[in-house]
Amino acid sequence: MRDFYATSDRLPLDQADGLRRLFAGRRRHVLPLAANPHVAFSGVVLDRLAALLAAQGREVLVVDAAASSPPPHELAHVELATCVEPIAPRVAYLPARGLPKAYVDTRGSAGGFIDAVLLAAPQAEVVLLHADAADLARLFKHRAARPLLIGADHPESIKHAYASAKLLAARCGLMTFDLLLAAPPQSPRAASIAASLGGCIENFLGAMLRHSALVDPAGGGEPASPALDSLLAEQLALDELTGAARRPGAPPHQGLPGWPLPGSEQEAHRPAFL
C-alpha cells in the first residue's frame, strides 16, 4: 500500500509538472513592457515582438495584464497553467488583467506573480509582460530589468511613456529604459520625439534611454530593423551581465539612424514635448 505522505515516486502535481521537469535549468527571460493607453497599436507591438522572437526559435508567452487587457479566465486563481492559450507557433497568450494585484505581499511586491507565470508555462523561454507602470513597479520591485516603454508619434503617448519611466525610477530604482515607437518609418516626428524623451529621462530622472526602435504597425511581414534586433538582443542578454548590463564596447546609446546621442550638440537642441 502506497504511503499517502511519501515523497518518492510522486505523481505530477498538475498538467504542467512534467514540462517543468523537462525544461528545468533553461535560461528564461521576463521582459517588462509599460502599457500606454495613448498608443492604439500596443497589441500590434506585442504581436510583432512575439513573432520576431518566435522566428528566432524561442518559445514566447505574452502576459497581457494592462488595465485595457482582457480579463483573466475564471480558473486563473486556481490553476494558472490551464489559462495559457497557444495562439501561434511558439507563441502563447495569457490574459491577466488585474492578476498581479492578487500576488502583492506585505512589502508591496507582486514578484510572486512572475514566479507563478514561469511555473505555469515552463516551456516559455521569453515572457513579454505587458502591464501598467504601477503594476510593473510591484512586479519588478526586487528584480533587475530594463523596462520597454511604448509610444507613438503624438505627444500624449510620449508624456505617458515619460510618466511610466518616472514612476518606475522612483518606486523600484530602475534607471535604464528602451523605447518601442509604434509609427511608420516615414513619420517626420519619430526622431525628434525619441530624442526629446531620451533627454527628459536623462535630465529630469538621472536615468537613461538605452535603445530606441520603430515598430511599423502596417509592416508585420517585414524583417526586423537593425535597431529592433539590437534592442531585443540586449534585453535577452541582461541577466548574463551585471550592473548596467552593457556589452563591452557597446556605444552609450543606440537607436534609429540619425537620432542624436544624449549629450551631443544636436541633442541639446532637441524639441521639448513637455
Q: Is the pLDDT of residue 88 over 90?
A: yes
The pLDDT, as a whole number, for residue 61 is 98
**What is the arithmetic mean of pLDDT over 230-258?**
60
Q: Give percent of the chain with pLDDT exceeding 70.
A: 76
Do 33 and 150 form a contact (C-beta atoms < 8 A)? Answer: yes
What's the CA gap between 272 and 274, in Å, rounded? Answer: 6
For 249, the grid coordinates are 564596447
Q: Is the pLDDT of residue 249 over 70?
A: no
What DSSP character marks residue 254?
Answer: B
SS3 114: helix
* Class for the domain spanning 26-268: alpha beta
Indicate the pairing of strand 91-95 with strand 85-88: antiparallel
Do 34 and 133 form a contact (C-beta atoms < 8 A)? Answer: yes
Q: Is the pLDDT of residue 203 over 90?
A: yes
The pLDDT, as a whole number, for residue 26 is 64
Q: Is the pLDDT of residue 73 over 90?
A: yes
- Averaged pLDDT score across all residues of the chain: 83
pLDDT tens string 233-243: 999 998 654 33
pLDDT grade, residue 58 (50/70/90)?
A: very high
| 164: enclosing H helix or E strand | helix 155-172
The pLDDT, as a whole number, for residue 263 is 43
**What is the arithmetic mean of pLDDT over 14-36?**
69
The pLDDT, as a whole number, for residue 200 is 98
Indicate the pairing of strand 176-182 with strand 148-152: parallel
Sequence letter at residue 248: P
In 75-221, DSSP assigns E strands to 85-88, 91-95, 126-131, 148-152, 176-182, 208-215
pTM score, two decimals? 0.81
Q: Of 61, 76, 53, which is closest to residue 121 (Cα–Cα)?
A: 61
pLDDT grade, residue 272 (50/70/90)?
A: low
The pLDDT, as a whole number, for residue 240 is 56
The pLDDT, as a whole number, for residue 191 is 87
- Give the domain ranges of the chain: 26-268
The distance between the two most distant Cα atoms of the chain, rounded to a whole number of Å, is 80
Do 110 and 99 form a contact (C-beta atoms < 8 A)? Answer: no
pLDDT grade, residue 132 (50/70/90)?
A: very high
pLDDT tens string 135-191: 999 999 989 999 999 999 999 999 999 999 999 999 999 999 999 999 998 888 888
Q: Is the pLDDT of residue 252 over 60?
A: no
